Structure 1
Amino acid sequence: MSLPRLFSSRYLGVAARGMAMGAADVVPGVSGGTIAFITGIYQELLDSLSRIGPHCLTLLRRQGIAATWQYINGSFLLALFAGVLISIFSLARLIGYLLHDYPIVVWAFFFGLVLASAVPVLRGIPRWSLSVVLFLLVGIATAVLISELRPGQIPATPLTLFLSGSLAICAMILPGISGAFILLLIGIYPRVLDAVHQLQLFNLVCFAAGAATGLLLFSRLLSWLMHRYIARTLAFLAGILLGSLKIIWPWKLPLTGVVDAGDKLAPLMSNTSPSTFAAQTGDKAYLGAAVTAAIVAAALVLLVDAFGTARRKGEPGVPPQ
């Protein structure tokens, strides 16, 4: 892949989607997989990742770098993950500032985004049946049950860091479930942050190795499911999205036993109404700003989906849905 082609509008668009995924992943409670889904690259991401494996070494030896790069859709993956990294390192401070100073508005924006994201997912289900509805309900129940879990505490050993990385990356691929939120639940999120801030290279390598392993294995499973059981898989993913709304409800109060939860632990706080929030905390509920942010986010999702649908209809060999 030549550099001019790599910087074409196609891959610049992929990089922009990656930046949006990175911005979402900064917020515990919001999944980058959600962004991948609503921007129309979810299936391509899963298929590309599922092609990476030991057999690539054989292909590399027999046909060379160019053929292997094309086989794994390397330019797509490079552009996407470059966008994710750029976003994490450039937007993390801004997202952190907004989350600290305007948490309700930020959570409301993502609430609207996730809620609207369920629309194209549900519309993409090719056929409905009793089993599809059952998978939708199982998805909702799964996300709600995860939201009811309370933070644990595990030591940061090489094994736990490896397993935590695997678990977090699996959650990140699923639309609606945040990898950072899972790390919060098992109590290792602060230790991962410490490893990043203090450049604890060995701990970071253990965590990254687990994330890479989980990414390659879980993406292969999801890709297989999407190709063979698309209706049930989409229904389950839509259920995960809808159930995760409980996690990112904007107005929250601290849980009993969780002292000074702060913005990073917001998904682990209990939901309440805007009026109860204002009465018990003495802070503004920012209802108008929150509703506006949610509407803007939902409108953005639906516009992106409408644009993607119109473009797909215009492609040769793609029948209108």
Structure 2
Amino acid sequence: MTTPGSPPLQTTTTTRSPLILRVAQGMAMGSADVVPGVSGGTVALILGIYTTLVGAIESVASTAGSLVRGDRVSAARHWRAVPWGFVLPLGTGMLVALAIGSVVLPPLLEGYPVQTSAAFFGMIVASLAVPWRKVAPRGVREYAVLVGLTLVAFVIMGLPETTVSGEVSLLRIGASMAVAICAMILPGVSGAFLLVALGVYEPVLEAVSSLDLPVLVTAVAGAALGLGLFSKVLGHLLDHHLSITMAGLTGLMIGALRVLWPWGGLEGRLDAPPAAGEAVVALVVAVIGFVLIRTLVVVGERTSPADPD
């Protein structure tokens, strides 16, 4: 997906990558989506599969839309356009990571909140260069979009957590998932954090760990609806307004750093470190996260070929 005058997004091809690599990429995205403050879309961008992912989602959504309209010919055409060799192993990896992450990650965040947030903070800072390098030219519009969406994400990530007493309705879960899934494919906007703000994060995680089928089916249906609608918009933007879109995605990632601030970020606060020693530990962990992602980005750029347009 490119526009004249804009550099092409570097992504891995769907046919040359081993199955195990796709599963691993899906697990990386799924793990990120479980953590409030981290976006699976950011991971996809870092791994070089973002535009392929959006295009695949768009094809699946088009297939479903054609079936709803009763246009079987169009549905078959869109179905054949879906890169199943990419989608199936990636989706499998995501589901495995979501299942594991729903059990493992919450205790990690609870037991080591400062270190975990610091690590993710460093990782996101390191990944900012990935979309920003795709912004060309860098004019007034691009910088305006960058600043504007930085502020939008900063405000959204400062939303207080909604506390829900009693049982959460299936309608609320479905609607919340429809909104959050859109954020999950946007680099910088955490779908998990939006679920926290909407008050359905814990019920959804509990449903995953306990295999609560009514809740899971509702969540999947809401996510499918939101993802299908939003992927068409995002696909159009990547096709026709690549530079502006990448500037906006960079801004979203910068603004989302607020929720990853190690001291009070998840609660919407930006507190100072309580002790110098804790600040030093957080800084070291953040630097390690930064170096790790920069290494992955550099290796990925040297070894991953571009998708054919």
Residues 1:94 and 2:104 are matched in the alignment: yes
2:43 aligned to 23, 35, 39, which one?
Answer: 35
CA deviation vs aligned residue, 1:62-98 (integer Å, no higher than 9, x gap): 6998x86651111211111111112222344333333
How many residues of Structure 1 are paired with residues of Structure 2 in the alignment? Answer: 291
Residues 1:270 and 2:280 are matched in the alignment: no
Pairwise CA RMSD of aligned residues? 2.9
> Gapped runs of 5+ residues in structure 1?
1-5, 253-265, 279-283
Normalised by the size of structure 1, how large is the TM-score? Answer: 0.81
1:77 aligned to 87, 96, 100, which one?
Answer: 87
Match of 2:219 in 1: 207
Residues 1:310 and 2:309 are matched in the alignment: no
Match of 2:283 in 1: 291
What is the deviation of 1:11?
3.1
Residues 1:133 and 2:143 are matched in the alignment: yes
What is the deviation of 1:156?
2.7
Distance 1:197 1:39, change over 3 A: closer
What is the deviation of 1:176?
1.2
Secondary structure of the corresponding residue to residue 260 of structure 2: coil
Secondary structure of the corresponding residue to residue 286 of structure 1: helix
What is the deviation of 1:221?
1.0
**Aligned partners of 1:91 and 1:209: how far apart in 2?**
21
Match of 2:249 in 1: 237
> Gapped runs of 5+ residues in structure 2?
1-13
Distance 1:209 1:7, change over 3 A: same
**Aligned partners of 2:16 and 2:301: how far apart in 1?**
22
**Aligned partners of 2:71 and 2:97: how far apart in 1?**
31
- The range that moved more, 144-153 or 24-33, is 144-153
Aligned residues: percent identity?
34
What is the deviation of 1:197?
4.5
Distance 1:60 1:86, change over 3 A: farther
What is the deviation of 1:308?
2.7
**Aligned partners of 2:299 and 2:170: how far apart in 1?**
45
Match of 1:119 in 2: 129
- The range that moved more, 97-106 or 120-129, is 97-106
Structure number, greater radius of gyration: 1
What is the deviation of 1:224?
0.9
Residues 1:149 and 2:141 are matched in the alignment: no
**Aligned partners of 1:7 and 1:42: how far apart in 2?**
16
Answer whether contact 1:104 1:285 (CA < 8 A) is retained.
no
Q: RCO higher in 1 or 2 (8 Å CA, sep ≥ 6)? A: 2
**Aligned partners of 2:199 and 2:113: how far apart in 1?**
22
